[in-house]
């Protein structure tokens, strides 16, 4: 499935970008932090397009959490939320 492939690709980017960072270094990393957040947003956006049948087949995947990343980032536009968004839950 196209969206699942995208989600895997975005996840691989996040893992590559964040390798070697501790939380403090990551939050203050600038471009790395921004690129990572953008890829998390893209994972959330792609998750919104995964069909219900697929979501039901894989109940262990935290679909709602993935989708909420997309919505949360848009609703917090213009606010400084770095520590909250980088809390390590994803």
pTM value is: 0.76
Check whether 79 has a pLDDT greater than 60.
no
Residue 12 near residue 61 (C-beta atoms within 8 A)? no
**Structure tokens that stand for 85 in this block:** 């968004």
Q: How far apart are CA 43 and CA 34, in angstroms?
A: 14
| Residue 79, burial from CB neighbour count under 10 angstroms (0-12, 13-18, 19+) | exposed
Residues in Cβ contact with 24 at an 8 Å cutoff, skipping those fewer than 6 apart: none
Instruction: Quick: pLDDT tens for 38-68.
Output: 999 999 999 999 999 999 999 999 999 999 9
């Amino acid at each position: 499935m196209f969206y699942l492939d995208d989600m895997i690709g975005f996840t691989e980017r996040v893992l590559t970008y964040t390798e070697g960072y501790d939380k403090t270094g990551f939050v203050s990393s600038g471009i790395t932090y921004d690129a990572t957040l953008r890829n998390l947003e893209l994972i959330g956006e792609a998750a919104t397009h995964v069909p219900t049948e697929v979501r039901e087949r894989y109940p262990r995947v935290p679909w709602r959490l993935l989708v909420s990343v997309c919505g949360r980032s848009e609703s917090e536009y213009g606010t400084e939320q770095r520590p909250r968004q980088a809390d390590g839950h994803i």
